């Protein structure tokens, strides 16, 4: 009890000393050759994406046909992607190309000119997933014959689904029966499919779209800060697989953009601080980040731009790092370092930013191999191949960024104060939590603090579902 009292006194002393400090500082720009970017007046640089092609031309959701040569080069040679690409091929080889698996049996039958039975399609419950992975592999390998075979399989699967698929009862409105993998597979396989093969796929995607809305589409904007609101927008980007074609309705896409923008506005405060903290923000951003990436491709990239909340997220990320690096100190259920997919999206969209680069290095490692929690495995296995971005040639540690030693969010009343940016520095995290009550993973932890110094934690955060007040260092 005495040690906790001393720590609380230290916590309050540092809070009084630093509460008025600025939240940002100047960061030296990188000097290396970089991807094409849009540069804003405040120095923010956002990746410049190619516009989508004309309706009926693919790929189009996240990439365009002119992006394919660079995808092929990077997936096979970039240290940020080539291991992920090899892992993707291994997964495809072990499942879709394995005639023992249900998915492999379907592929083998169609390759032999035979049509699988409805029972065989039903048994191949992961077929769309592996077709999506295989479609990326076919595009990277530029293998037209393989692409034509996969297109036949996808078309046959869509025909089966048109006959048998029924939307499950969904009183919450999450629409988890939506098949994003089928949409992704179509986007990469369509160039090798004839019109007769494309038609059942388009019809099935249109059937999935019919009569549904994006989760939280009718909620107040500020309530969409919740991670589930941010996550469950994938129907929007999936619908872009048939953008402008017969059967497409822009309603889902428009709703998804609105919800994703609100998630990125209200889950992230103007200081860059997160309401649900890193892990649960990253869960929601897997969905909203992809929608906002697709929106930027279509000319709507304001969420990434100068002075946006997403644009200032980097200050929160760097300040949450432990002094010794490698780990982040987040509070409540958001404790942890977040899901890989979110880091891939952030680094891809801010490829030249030294602060994002430093936080990205700490999260994924110098070899890009620190996968972390497996909750996002199904997303990251293809995101890493399409979008993983190399570290800047020279790392810029926080000690060289001229950042203040104090970071403060007045909305959350969240303070990070440290004695310096060296690895043995003392670092205090304290929050009065004035942004609650809101929807999300709340804990009874107002006036909670954590403390680290000399290479270790001294007052820590228990984390997920440890919500009771006595489990925290509350003042």
Q: What is the pLDDT of residues 201-250, one digit of tens each?
A: 999 999 999 999 999 999 999 999 999 999 999 999 999 999 999 999 99
How many beta carbons lie within 10 A of that of residue 297, not counting itself? 22
Separation between Cα atoms, residue 363 and residue 381, nearest integer Å: 16
Q: What are phi and psi of 418, to 5 degrees?
A: -140, 160
Mean pLDDT of the chain, nearest integer:
90
pLDDT at 437: 64
Q: Which of 122-136, 150-164, 369-383, 407-421 has the lowest mean pLDDT?
A: 369-383
Query: To 10 degrees, what angle do helices 354-364 and 340-349 make?
Result: 160
Band (473; pLDDT cuts 50, 70, 90): confident
Band (299; pLDDT cuts 50, 70, 90): very high
pLDDT at 390: 97
In the predicted model, what is the mean pLDDT of residues 182-204?
98
Cα dihedral 189, 195, 201, 206 sign: positive
68 has pLDDT over 90: yes
Tokens, residue 122 = 């039903």
Q: Which pTM value belongs to this model?
A: 0.92
16 has pLDDT over 70: no
> Are the C-beta atoms of residues 70 and 81 closer than 8 Å to each other?
no
60 has pLDDT over 90: yes
Separation between Cα atoms, residue 315 and residue 309, nearest integer Å: 10
Q: What is the pLDDT of residues 246-294, one digit of tens each?
A: 999 999 999 999 999 999 999 999 999 998 889 889 999 999 999 999 9
């Amino acid at each position: 009890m005495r040690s906790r009292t001393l720590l609380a006194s230290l916590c309050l002393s540092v809070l009084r000393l630093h509460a008025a400090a600025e939240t940002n500082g100047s960061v030296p720009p990188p000097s290396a050759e970089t991807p094409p970017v849009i540069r804003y007046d405040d120095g923010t640089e956002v990746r410049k994406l190619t516009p989508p092609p004309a309706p009926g031309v693919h790929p189009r959701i996240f990439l365009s046909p002119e992006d394919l040569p660079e995808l092929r080069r990077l997936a096979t040679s970039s240290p940020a992607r080539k291991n992920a690409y090899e892992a993707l091929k291994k997964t495809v080889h072990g499942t879709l190309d394995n005639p023992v698996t249900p998915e492999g049996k379907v592929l083998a039958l169609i390759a032999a000119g035979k049509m699988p039975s409805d029972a065989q399609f039903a048994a191949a419950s992961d077929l769309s997933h592996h077709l999506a992975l295989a479609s990326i592999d076919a595009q990277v390998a530029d293998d037209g014959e393989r692409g034509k075979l996969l297109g036949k399989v996808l078309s046959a699967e869509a025909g089966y689904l048109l006959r048998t698929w029924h939307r499950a009862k969904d009183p919450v409105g999450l629409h988890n029966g939506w098949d994003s993998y089928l949409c992704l597979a179509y986007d990469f396989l369509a160039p090798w499919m004839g019109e007769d093969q494309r038609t059942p796929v388009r019809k099935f995607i249109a059937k999935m779209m019919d009569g549904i809305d994006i989760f939280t589409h009718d909620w107040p904007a500020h309530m969409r800060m919740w991670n589930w609101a941010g996550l469950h927008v994938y129907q929007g980007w999936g619908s872009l697989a048939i953008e402008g074609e017969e059967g497409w309705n822009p309603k889902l896409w428009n709703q998804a953009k609105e919800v994703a923008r609100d998630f990125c506005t209200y889950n992230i405060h103007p200081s860059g601080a997160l309401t649900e903290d890193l892990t649960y923000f990253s869960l929601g951003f897997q969905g909203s980040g992809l929608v906002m990436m697709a929106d930027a491709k279509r000319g709507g990239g304001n969420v990434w731009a100068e002075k946006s909340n997403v644009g200032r997220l980097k200050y929160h990320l760097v300040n949450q790092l432990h002094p010794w690096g490698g780990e982040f100190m987040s509070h409540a259920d958001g404790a942890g370092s977040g899901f890989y997919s979110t880091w891939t999206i952030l680094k891809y969209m801010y490829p030249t930013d030294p602060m994002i680069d430093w936080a990205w290095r700490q999260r994924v490692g110098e070899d890009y191999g620190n996968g972390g929690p497996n909750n996002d495995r199904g997303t990251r296995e293809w995101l890493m191949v399409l979008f993983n971005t190399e570290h800047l040639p020279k790392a810029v540690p926080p000690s060289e960024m001229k950042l203040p030693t104090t970071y403060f969010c007045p909305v959350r009343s969240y303070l990070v104060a440290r004695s310096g940016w060296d690895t043995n520095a003392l670092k205090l995290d304290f929050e009065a939590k004035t942004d609650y009550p809101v929807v999300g993973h709340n804990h009874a932890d107002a006036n909670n603090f954590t403390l680290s110094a000399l290479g270790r934690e001294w007052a820590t955060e228990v984390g997920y579902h440890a919500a009771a007040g006595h489990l925290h260092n509350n003042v």
